[in-house]
Structure 1
Amino acid sequence: MTAKPVATTSERRSGNGKLHPRNRHQGRYDFAKLTSAEPSLLAFIEEHSNGETSIDFANPQAVRALNRALLKHAYNIAAWDIPPDNLCPPIPGRADYLHYLADLLAGSNGGKIPTGSAVQVLDIGVGANCIYPLIGHAEYQWQFVGTDISSASLTHAQSILDANPGLTAAIHLRQQTSKNAIFKEVVADHEWYDLTMCNPPFHSSAKEAAEGTQRKWRNLGKEDDGRNSTLNFGGQDAELWCPGGEAAFIQRMIKESKQMPTRCFWFTTLVSKSANLPSLHAALKQAGVHDSKTISMNQGQKQSRFLAWTFLNPAQQNAWHKLRWSRAAI
């Protein structure tokens, strides 16, 4: 008989063991505080004979309730949810990317993190959950533009913003109407961004995405009976796959970034597969970037990373610093 897969508070979920030092989600989840912030989470708390409490991380409703609690408790996001067929993001890991991006900016700003509305961030593939803009604005008061090809995802993300006072002035959403474009069509001629960020589609086909979902369920000791694919390990097609997978998507991003080299200080994207790095580094070299970095994020047993590149030379970087960040640093 297969044991029910649960994660206790002693387990460092979502990489909580080695998160960025500024990440609010260090160590064990404090379910007492989280259920106080989000009472609906209480229905999913399980107490075991050893005194540990947990939730079933294979239960999508439990994970969504946990996310609502984390967002309320840590970031004062009063209202958040996602449609049942969209990916449910792991909050601690998503926060890590933003904290490392803040460090990236600090490295170009005399060690000081630029904060406030002077910092403009473009989130490619914001999704229905809108998670990066929500956390990034709460932590650093950055301004965000989030883009997505899915009008349904944008409609839901907008409902989250509308339900939380003050967010509609800081976070703006735009639809990418071309499936073959990333920056084109959504970046206006008068706009400059300090950062772009992206969690690109991982798989190269719908079949590969479905097989990946089935592997995750088997690793949890459960069989995918056809209903689970739209739960915790579900996701819309645009979230999960694109022709050529992650490598092709990022290569297209690099190619497009070359066409707007001075419009963004740091272009960045997550890279899930380390095996893709050599070809991506080659693409950056071919694009003629001035500098690039591969930044590792060690999240417990999971290793993640993001790629960052800039076309700005030292003189251009210094001018950017003086014009945009000199009055916005902490």
Structure 2
Amino acid sequence: MAYGARLLMHPRNRYQGHYDLTALFRLEPSLKTWSTLTPTGKESLNFGEPEAVKLLNKALLKHWYQVEWMLPDDHLCPPIPGRADYIHHLADCLADDLPTPYGPDISVLDIGCGANCIYPLIGSAEYGWRFTGSDCQPESIRAAQQLLAMNTGLTRAIRLRRQRDSRKIFDGIIQPNEFYHATLCNPPFHTSAQAAAQGTARKNNHLGLATEQLNFAGRYHELWCPGGEIGFISQMIDESVIYKNQVLWFTTLVAKQQSLGTLRKILRQKSVPVVKEIEMGQGNKKSRLLVWSFHTKRERKALMKPA
């Protein structure tokens, strides 16, 4: 684990370079099965095994947020610290326009919430926000709904909607009289199933695993789409023009540094006046948030109304 990278993590992130494995093993005893030792003799986990990562997430959500969590096989299992970083940076962005970035009056739309529903779970626990989560796969919506039903109060804080047209992002989800303080998204970033498999092979090689071992989980729509992340985010930018008066901030993760140049150009073509790029890092992995608004600070304050 690259402890030097901890300085890139948001200061409010509950994970700052190490896990309390003793506490996590108490909460999720089966996690102990995947315990291993680092070359320096420190206890760690076998992060190359999907089941270990899934159990770690289950323990972390219970430990940090008192949330009961489950995830069906073959669905994307996201790293909790990285997803929490996104939420904290989004809160900083909202704090520029709001007296406080806390409370149920703040409404956020998660595009592609998946069966894991991670962003709504963390955002509602950390900041008390209300969420709408969308996904194009009915099985993901059903799994997320079951997850919410396991936790008292979450069905009031988080609602789910199915996107019935996989070619659309906001269209069909944002209703005419709705207002969102922000949207967030972790878009599929591979261009094809082959590219996703190659990415997995590189990851396995880094972890010292056999290249044919698929150590990630995820349905195709979670991992790749035509045009990759540039294609997906370009569509998001196009649709954001339509909903610019119903959303304060549009945001998305951008996995590849080289994608930013193309996306900046598209935003300039749409005459978007406010664009921000926020770099994030967890361990050896770096990512960035792309944030845009069609309104100046004064206009955003005038636009705001109860969610």
The TM-score normalised by the length of structure 1 is 0.88
Question: Structure 2: which 5+ residue stretches go unaligned?
Answer: none
Say if 1:213 and 1:234, in contact at 8 Å, map to a contact too.
no
Amino acid at match of 1:217: N
Structure 1 CA distance for aligned equivalents of residues 40 and 233 of structure 2: 46
Q: Within the alignment, does 1:274 sit opposite 2:257 as a pair?
A: yes
Aligned with residue 169 of structure 2, among 157, 165, 182: 182
Judged with a 3 Å threshold, the aligned counterparts in structure 2 of structure 1 residues 47 and 245 are, in CA distance, closer, same or farther, namely closer
The answer to whether 1:255 aligns with 2:238 is yes
Q: Contact between 2:92 and 2:101, CA under 8 Å: does it hold in 1? A: no
Structure 1 residue 17: deviation in Å? 5.4
Aligned partner of 1:18: which letter?
L
3-state SS in 2 of match to 1:253 = helix
Correspondent of 1:170 among 138, 157, 170: 157
| In 1, Cα distance between equivalents of 2:277 and 2:86 | 12
Q: CA RMSD in A?
A: 1.9
**1:227-284 CA-partner distances (Å, limit 9, x unpaired):** x33xx31311100111011001101100000011110000000011111111111111
* Secondary structure of residue in 2 paired with 1:204: coil
Is 1:240 aligned to residue 201 of structure 2? no
Q: Which residue does the alignment assign to 1:102?
A: 91
What number of residue pairs does the alignment pair up?
A: 307
- After superposition, the C-alpha distances for 1:102-157 in whole angstroms (9 at most, x for unaligned) are 00011223xx5321110000000101100000000000000000101111111111
Residue 223 to residue 47, structure 1, CA distance change in 2 (3 Å): closer
Q: Whole-Å Cα distance in 1 between the matches of residues 300 and 37 of structure 2?
A: 54
User: Counterpart of 2:242 in 1: which secondary structure?
Assistant: coil
Aligned residue number for residue 65 of structure 1: 55
How many angstroms apart in 1 are the aligned matches of 2:110 and 2:37?
Answer: 39
In structure 2, the partner of 1:291 is: 274
Q: What's the CA shift for 1:12?
A: 4.8
1:8 is matched with: none
Q: 2:3 aligned with 1:20, yes or no? A: no
Cα distance change on mapping 1:103 and 1:117 into 2, 3 Å:
same
1:139 and 2:126 aligned: yes
Letter of the aligned partner of 1:190 in structure 2? N
Q: Does 1:198 align with 2:181?
A: no
1:16 and 1:92 in contact (8 A); partners too: no
Shift of 1:47: 4.9
Q: Return the alpha-carbon distance in structure 1 between the equivalents of residues 7 and 261 of structure 2.
A: 29
Q: Equivalent residue for 1:75? A: 65
Secondary structure of the corresponding residue to residue 297 of structure 1:
strand
Query: In 2 relative to 1, CA 84–28 (structure 1 residues): closer, same or farther, beyond 3 Å?
Result: same
- Alpha carbons 2:179, 2:246 under 8 Å: kept: yes
Contact 2:2 2:284 in 1 (8 A): no
Structure 1 residue 303 and structure 2 residue 286: aligned? yes
Task: Label 1:267 to 1:52 Cα distance change in 2 as closer, same or farther (>3 A).
Answer: same
Q: Counterpart of 2:278 in structure 1: which amino acid?
A: I
Q: 1:127 to 1:15 in 2, by over 3 A?
A: farther
Q: Distance in 1 between matches of 2:201 and 2:39?
A: 31
Deviates further, 40-49 or 171-180: 40-49
Aligned twin of 2:78: 89
Q: TM-score, normalised by structure 2?
A: 0.94
C-alpha spacing 1:193/1:47, structure 2 compared with 1 (3 Å): same
Identity over aligned pairs, percent: 48
Whole-angstrom CA distance in 1 between matches of 2:149 and 2:4: 28
2:207 aligned residue (206, 220, 227):
220
Q: Describe the SS at the equivalent of 1:92.
A: helix
Give distance in 1, aligned partners of 2:5 and 2:219. 24
Q: Could you say which residue in structure 1 is the equivalent of 2:28?
A: 38
Query: Which of 99, 103, 110 does residue 123 from structure 1 map onto?
Result: 110
Shift in CA distance, 175/49, structure 1 to aligned 2, threshold 3 Å: closer
CA contact (8 A) 1:126 1:147 kept: yes
Q: SS of the residue aligned with 1:168?
A: helix
Deviations 1:173-230, CA, capped at 9 Å, x for gaps: 11111111000011111101000000001111111111111221122222234xx33x
| Distance of 1:14 and 1:162 partners within structure 2 | 39
